[in-house]
Structures are given as structure tokens and as C-alpha cells.
Amino acid sequence: MIELDDRLRAIRDRHREAAEDLRSRALAIDADPEAMEAHLDSPAYLMIRESSMPPAYRTSATAAASPDRGSCLENIVGLVELFRGDVAALLACPSPALAGVFVELLGDAAQKERFYRRIADGRTWSFFAMTEAGRGNDATAMETRLERDGSGGWLLHGAKRYIGHGARGGVGVVFGRTGRSALSIRAALVELPLPGWHAERLDMVGLRGAFLSELRFDGLPVAGDMLLGEHLPVTRRGIWGALTTFNNMRMQIAAAAVGTALAMAEYVAEHRKGAPGADLVAARAQAARHLVYEAAARLDRSPERGYLSSAAKLGATKMAVATAHWAAAALGPAGLLEHPLLEKWTRDVRAFEFMDGTGNIQRLHVARGYRSGDADA
């Protein structure tokens, strides 16, 4: 079990305070995820942006209790607390997000400068476009392609679906193939506006702040110096970076499930004292929190080994859905009508199953990790 030292406790406590600000905005963002101007300068959003940006691009002083951007454990300790405020409200914040993780891994100095300068204003969303309709994140089945334009650049053709902030983003990462082999899968840094870009927001039941979108590319121009990883060995470009990024993403989804479950359990405890099963529900949520901490610490030691992150995502998601069922029943037949915040969380929690692979996909990752010896790492 991971014991929190003084630094981790300071990170936890600082993010716990910011969670209240996120929660106060949750229902407004859920009602109208396009009306974000009133939230962009909030204390929580400022903290999220500043702590996720490299120091050179920060616009204000950041408290000492900000997580080390290179430590998965420190970030997950903070995220669990923020997600207790509201997952969708956090996802609605303009920040580097997953695109930033990938640019950090594979971008050269000029690409990082271009990316972070664009989002430093706090009003530009980033996007990470890999998922395709009917194929999910299966890179081997990807159909989006990068074709040479004859002048040293590329033309992007294809479509992506379920892309966070795709229809309002200003800069991000888009995956495509330059050929048919696994090594031909590459990522391009795309800064908008550009011709050939078409985007539309999708209707959503839950996590509406994520602004999931569908994208289409009709010969979108990509400059030759915007392919990520050109300075790296061929084997450490597209797929390697994607796997490492998805290991981080999986941990964030697990943290979101744990944070939402803790929020629901605490909400019921506040509004219905002595609800049947409350102690067991709370204990399961705490156990999932410790599993997520352990998986994050494991990734810090071995970033390419995703065995325990899959196990954490699988267990945390299942636990969070069960907590939502319990919470709805604990407050009685009219409970969700009388408590709109809890009703929102019971919608949001369903999305975690489909983010970065369903439960069956995670079971395959766990089985492969076990067979390869990752379980003993």
C-alpha cells in the first residue's frame, strides 16, 4: 500500500480545496458546455492550467504543492481529489491534456514551443485525435492516412470520432498512417484553422464538458516539420508514444472513476444518514483508490508496462458503476430528481467503461501482462 508522505499529502489537500470550485460549476457546464467564458478564470481552472504547463509557459506563480509533471503518482493523487469535485467540469478546462503528454514525449523543441504558446492564453483547447468510428483506439486498423504533397509536406485524409474538444480545439495531435506497417503510424501536430478540417460536436448524455466531437479531414495540409518524433529512432515514434500516453490516460480514467465514486458515497452519507451498505461502499472506494495509487507508482518505475494500469481501470470502473446503482437506490424513488448533482454523476460514470478500451479490452491487457511477467515487475 502506498503511504502518502508530506509532499503527497500537500498535493492532495491543495487539490481537495480546488474540487469544491469545480463542483460548484458542474451543473452549469453540464447544461451548456459551450458557455464556458464564465468558468475560464476560475481558481480551479487556473490551478489546473498552471500545474500542467511547463514552468517557462506559466503566466503566474504556482504553489509548491503542484505535482511534478513527470510523476504519475503525484498527478494521480491530485486528480483523484479534483475528480471528487466533478470529472466533466475538469475535462472542460482548456489545458495540455493528453496532447500535451504526447508532445512532451515525441515533440522537438520547436514543436513544444508552438504547442504550449498556443494554449498559454487559457482559452484554447487541445485535442488528441486517434479514435476512429468502428475501430476505437486499435492503431492496427486505423484508416486515416498521411499522403505526401510533393513539396516536403503531407495531406491528411480520413476521420476521427469521440475526440475531446475536437470541435472547439485550436491545436492538437492527429494520428494517421504513412504506409501499411505498424511503424508507419505517425502523429502530426495540427494548429487550426486550416483548410480541409471539418468538426462537429456530438450529442452526449454524460460527461458533456468533454465536448466529444467528430472530425473529418479532406486533404488537410500538414507541414513537414509538424510530424512528431522525426528526431527519434523509428521504433520510438508513433506506436511507442501512443502506448505510453494511453497508459497515462488509463490511470486518469481510473482516478476519475475513484473520485466520482468517493463523491457519490460522501454525497449519500451527507443526505441520508445511516444509508444501508454505506460503510461497505466507502471501503470499496478507498480500496480502489489505493489500487490506483499503486498502479501509478508502478508506471513511474516502468512507464511502458501497462498491466496494473489496466487492472486499476477495470476495477475502478466496475466499482464506480456499482456505487452509482447503490447511491440512486439509497436516496429512494425520487432521489435523482431531488438531487440533480447525483443524477449527473450517475450519467457521467457510465462513460468510463468506454474510455481507452472497454472492460474486455482491459482484461486482455491484464492477461498479456501476466503472461509476459509484468505482474512480477
Per-residue pLDDT at 63 exceeds 70: no
Binning the chain into helix, strand and coil, the percentages to the nearest 5 are 55, 15, 30
Residue of higher predicted confidence among 138 and 128: 128
Q: Which amino acid is at 61?
A: A
Q: How many CB atoms lie within 10 A of CB 35?
A: 10
Reported pTM:
0.91
What is the secondary structure of 54-79 as a DSSP string? Answer: -GGG-SS---TTSPPTT-HHHHHHHH
pLDDT for position 61: 55
Q: Are 164 and 212 in contact (CB under 8 A)?
A: yes
CA 12 to chain centre: 19
Confidence of residue 376 (pLDDT cuts 50, 70, 90): low
Distance of alpha carbon 15 from alpha carbon 85, whole angstroms: 9
Q: Which of 174-188, 260-274, 282-296 has the lowest mean pLDDT?
A: 174-188
Tell me what the pLDDT averaged over the chain comes to. Answer: 91
Per-residue pLDDT band at 64 (split at 50, 70, 90): low
pLDDT digits (tens, 9 = 90+) for 145-169: 999 999 999 999 999 999 999 999 9
pLDDT band of residue 115 (cuts 50, 70, 90) is very high
DSSP state of 120: T
Cis status of the peptide bond prior to 193, with omega within 30 of 0: yes
Write out pLDDT tens, residues 284-304.
999 999 999 999 999 898 877
Assign 365 a pLDDT band (cuts: 50, 70, 90): confident
Measure the CA dihedral 251/298/280/81, to 10°.
-50
Burial of residue 280, with CB atoms counted within 10 A of its CB: 0-12 exposed, 13-18 middle, 19 or more buried: exposed
pLDDT at 328 over 90: yes
The DSSP H or E segment spanning 356 is none
| Comparison of pLDDT for 134 and 170, the residue scoring more | 170
Helix (H) or strand (E) holding 333: none
- Pick the range with the lowest mean pLDDT from 63-72, 159-168, 276-285, 348-357: 63-72
pLDDT recorded at residue 14: 92
69 pLDDT higher than 60: yes
pLDDT, one tens digit per residue, over 185-240 is: 899 999 999 999 999 999 999 999 999 999 999 999 999 999 999 888 776 776 66
Q: Tell me what pLDDT residue 283 has.
A: 96
> Which residue would you say has higher pLDDT here, 113 or 135?
113
Higher pLDDT, 137 or 371: 371
Please report which confidence band the pLDDT of residue 114 belongs to, taking 50, 70 and 90 as the band edges: very high
